[in-house]
Amino acid sequence: MSDNNEGSLKPPSPQLTQSQIVDTAVSNPCEARSDPPEAGTALVKGKAKRRKRTKTGKRFKVPNPYSGEHHTFIDDGCKTDSQGYPICPNGETVFVKTAREAITNFGHIVYPHTQKTSGAKDDAPWKTTWYTCLGVLDCDNDTCQYAGPTPTGDGKAAELIMNCRVDVEKDTGWAILRHSGIHSHVWALPKKADPLAMEEMAAEVVKNPKAGPMVLKVGQARAGQNITPSVGEIHPAFAHSGRLGYLRREILKQKGLITEQESKGGGDSFILNIMHWGSEWMAQMLVRRDPDTKKVYSGGLLSDVTYRFFKNGYLLTTSMYSDRMHRWIPVQLTWMAHLDVAHYQGHFTLLMKQMRDAEDITPFECDQLVRQVVDFSSAQKKGFVSAYMDVFNERDPDKAMSKLKGCREHYRQSITRITRNRGVVPAGDEVGFIHFI
């Protein structure tokens, strides 16, 4: 053939299949879209589709205390207290607490976090608490230790989220803390003292009750004696003079070392401490288990005041219902000089100590017994909260208040009292008011 004929011939155009079209689009995606594809997407016919996230399973599973596979491991970057407990866990830290081991700060996390709990009130065998770190805004300079507030932006906050989980076996008290992830920020300075630091500070106050807040803050040097260290070395929160003065007064009140001139009702503390009555039989009935179910008492603990039993003062009685005798029996009696918070606190402090120190009672069962107390007055509520925070080293008053039960009978009496008030409920509208409630 001539050259002219060769130049006039054209090769046939290929017929592309559907798979070839897709391969062409994937091999040169920039021609189909103006911006590069995002991570985790696939291009089909020039369109981006997000891939489905594959399930990886739970990071932490329910532990087995008897398997022997759980051991304490403190990873690098952790901040521990004097008992070796990681108050700021980091990395792959694991901390195991045995049933009879006393770790004051166990379950307490210092860094800014949110938490959620499951199994605290139901019959589940485990109580589980999840802690999620919120992070801090730190300086770009590596030598700067400044830690600002937690970030609120979606992108920045997601980078700093780290998970921690605490599991407590209710029946035995065996517990484990497990952490995952590395915190890339500096540890923020805690604003509140942890329970162990509060115990150490209370010991310093009791050792020298006459020392004021300033002496406790800066320390004291006496002739021929060792220098008293500053309580600020125990925890940074004690460096604030106003807060330190308040904590000192509260500790002296609880220990009964404050005088009547320094605190209202302080002069009656000696009488209050010795005017409690209770037999050994009462103490046994309080922590007695049901012979059939083997569970602790759950029928409610009612506290009532008798006004005319004593010529001076009042009689406060806490009673429980006995299935054997089919009647209410007293478990603790207290003489009270006044119906104030301090006297109620003394009554409930002794009651809770009996629950806490009883043999063969697990922490979960002790919490169940505490929840049986029924409130009936504002002073009694505050006294209960103060006693719970003192006995169980709790620093959150809302958590202590959540242990109280409401009494249906007192609630009904409150409704009747309001119904009879014609300034609130007009005559003839009583039935409608009660139906509305």
Q: Are 26 and 44 in contact (CB under 8 A)?
A: no
Report how far apart the first and last C-alpha atoms of the chain are (Å, whole number): 106
Beta-carbon contacts of 228 under 8 Å, excluding residues fewer than 6 positions away, are: 204, 208, 211, 215, 219, 220, 221, 222
Residue position matching structure tokens 């689009």: 25
Q: What is the pLDDT of residue 259?
A: 57
Measured CA to CA, the distance from residue 30 to residue 43 in angstroms comes to 11
What is the model's pTM? 0.50
Beta-carbon contacts of 301 under 8 Å, excluding residues fewer than 6 positions away, are: 318, 319, 320, 331, 351, 369, 372, 373, 374
Q: What is the domain partition of the chain in residue ranges? A: 12-50, 79-180, 195-258, 269-406
Q: Are 391 and 352 in contact (CB under 8 A)?
A: yes
Q: What is the pLDDT of residue 36?
A: 46
Burial-class residue 17 by CB neighbours within 10 Å (0-12, 13-18, 19+).
Answer: exposed
Long-range contacts of the stretch 304-308 (C-beta < 8 A, 24+): 304/376, 305/336, 305/339
Q: What is the pLDDT of residue 176?
A: 95
Q: Give the Å distances, CA to CA, from 343 to 27, 272, 352.
A: 81, 7, 15
Measured CA to CA, the distance from residue 404 to residue 79 in angstroms comes to 35
Q: What is the pLDDT of residue 368?
A: 85
Q: What is the pLDDT of residue 157?
A: 56
Q: What is the pLDDT of residue 427?
A: 80
Measured CA to CA, the distance from residue 252 to residue 131 in angstroms comes to 34
pLDDT tens track, the chain, 437 positions = 444 444 444 555 555 555 454 444 444 444 444 444 444 444 444 544 445 544 444 578 889 888 888 999 999 999 999 999 999 999 999 999 998 899 999 999 998 888 999 988 778 899 999 999 888 887 878 778 777 777 776 665 556 667 899 999 988 999 999 999 898 888 888 888 999 999 999 999 998 888 888 888 887 755 455 667 788 889 988 988 888 888 988 888 888 777 545 554 444 444 444 466 778 888 888 888 888 888 888 888 888 888 878 777 888 889 998 888 888 899 988 888 888 888 888 889 989 998 898 888 888 888 888 888 876 677 888 888 889 988 988 888 888 888 877 655 556 666 777 777 777 778 878 777 777 76
- Give the 3-state secondary structure of the chain: CCHHHHHHCCCCCCCCCHHHHHHHHHHCHHHCCCCCCCCCEEEECCEEEECCCCCCCCCCCCCCCCCCCCCCECCCCCEECCCCCEEECCCCCEEEECCCCCCCCCCCCCCCEEEEEECCCCCCCEEEEEEEECCCCECCCCCCCCECCCCCCHHHHHHHCCEEEEEEECCCCCEEEEEECCCCCCCCCCCCCCHHHHHHHHHHHHHCCCCCHHHHHHCECCCCCCCECCHHHCCHHHHCHHHHHHHHHHHHHHHCCCCCCCCCCHHHHHHHHHCEECCHHHHHHHCCECCCCCCECCCCEEEEEECCCCCCCEEEEEEEEECCCCEEEEEEEEEECCCCHHHHHHHHHHHHHHHHHCCCCCHHHHHHHHCCEECCCHHHHHHHHHHHHHHCCCCCHHHHHCCCECCHHHHHHHHHHHHCCCCCCCCCCHHHHHHHC
Measured CA to CA, the distance from residue 320 to residue 328 in angstroms comes to 5
Beta carbons within 10 angstroms of residue 159's beta carbon: 11
For residue 129 the two structure tokens come to 């608490």
Measured CA to CA, the distance from residue 104 to residue 370 in angstroms comes to 19
Type of residue numbered 128? T
Taking alpha carbons only, the member of 197, 187, 125, 126 closest to residue 162 is 187
